[in-house]
Amino acid sequence: MGIVELLLVSVGLAMDAFAVSVCKGLGMRRFNPTVALVLAFLFGLFQGGMPVIGWLLGSQLMWLIEPIDHWIAFGLLAFIGGKMIADAIGEGDEDAGVTDHVAWGEFLMLAVATSIDALAVGISLAALNVSIVQSALVIGVVTFVISLAGVGVGHLFGSRYERHAQIAGGVVLILIGLKVLLEHLGLAFWG
């Protein structure tokens, strides 16, 4: 696999992290560089780390994870998306759905949920006899950059549309989870 192919795989893997980063940026009243950097770092770390785990596991234990990986991703994304919607329409709480501080637990769940597909990529990389160190670094850095941009884009729109943007962000997270689930169940009707 050449660098062009690796970059394309990296961008493809980073799209879910980008969408989630946009959603988190929607909830920022003021752009908080610490929150943006931590979120992007965690997404990059997990997106780069999961292929390493997949590469190490090879096809040895994937049979245990693969049957439920889509349910895990769907459950985590649906839970957080539902929480965002509930917070946004909550009873007058001005801070509902706001992403003005680092929420470690939530950010870690999102990082895991958006990087599960990268586990399978790691198995593919092992089969292709590709350097896992170079691949993991490229995937992680690309995801970091794309996620950081996503937070900025989300903040740009979120600061204008506040609660409606927060609700939309929650819906998007649930839809991403549903997309993952339908694709893995073979029920997707798109390409």
Contact 25, 160 (CB under 8 A): no
User: Of the candidates 115, 161, 180, which has an alpha carbon nearest to the alpha carbon of residue 23?
Assistant: 161
Query: Following DSSP, what letter does each residue of 90-139 receive, concatenated?
Result: SSS-TTTT---S--HHHHHHHHHHHHHHHHHHHHHHHHTT--HHHHHHHH
pLDDT at 182: 86
Domain total of the chain:
1
- Domain encompassing residue 63: 3-185
Under 8 Å CB-to-CB from 14, ≥6 apart: which residues? Answer: 43, 47, 139, 142, 143, 146, 147
Q: What is the pLDDT of residues 28-75, one digit of tens each?
A: 878 889 999 999 999 999 999 999 998 888 656 666 767 777 787 788
pLDDT at residue 25 greater than cutoff 80: yes
* Structural domain includes residue 68: yes
pLDDT at 85: 79
Q: Is 124 exposed, middle or buried (0-12, 13-18, 19+ CB in 10 A)?
A: middle
Task: Please provide the average confidence, as pLDDT, over all residues in the chain.
Answer: 81
Least confident of 19-23, 166-170, 172-176, 187-191: 187-191
**What is the structure's pLDDT at 160?**
64
Decide if pLDDT at 162 tops 70: no
| 190 assigned to some structural domain | no
Residue 96: predicted pLDDT: 46
181 belongs to a structural domain? yes
What's the pLDDT score for residue 150? 92
Residue 191: which pLDDT band, with cuts at 50, 70 and 90?
A: low
Residue 191, in any domain of the structure: no
Mean pLDDT along residues 76-98: 66
Confidence of residue 20 (pLDDT cuts 50, 70, 90): confident
Cα separation, 133 vs 120, whole angstroms = 16
pTM: 0.72
- Is 84 a member of any domain? yes
Q: Within 13 Å and on the Cβ side, how many CA atoms surround 187?
A: 7
Fill in the amino acid letter for 82. Answer: G
